[in-house]
Structure 1
Amino acid sequence: MKKLLFQFYTDTYPSVFDTVVGYDGGADHVIGHGGISP
């Protein structure tokens, strides 16, 4: 089974660093989405 990591950010763009850490942590796919309103 694939490991998916969804990251939601209130900033305009998702963090590249967080994406790299997600892959380094064992996720198979990292999906970052920016511009989310709380």
Structure 2
Amino acid sequence: MLQSVELASTSADVLIMAAAVSDWKPSDVSQQKIKKDG
């Protein structure tokens, strides 16, 4: 995919990218609310 994007974007002035919400998952899921530090 990276190669395709690099190829297509060589002649572009702007590149706008987005990811779907389900593309990213946290590595550690908490079962309760995590309080802020600071």
Q: State the TM-score, normalizing by the size of structure 1.
A: 0.32
The structure that is helix-richer by fraction is 2
Over alpha carbons, which structure has the higher Rg? 2
Could you say which structure has the higher strand fraction? Answer: 1
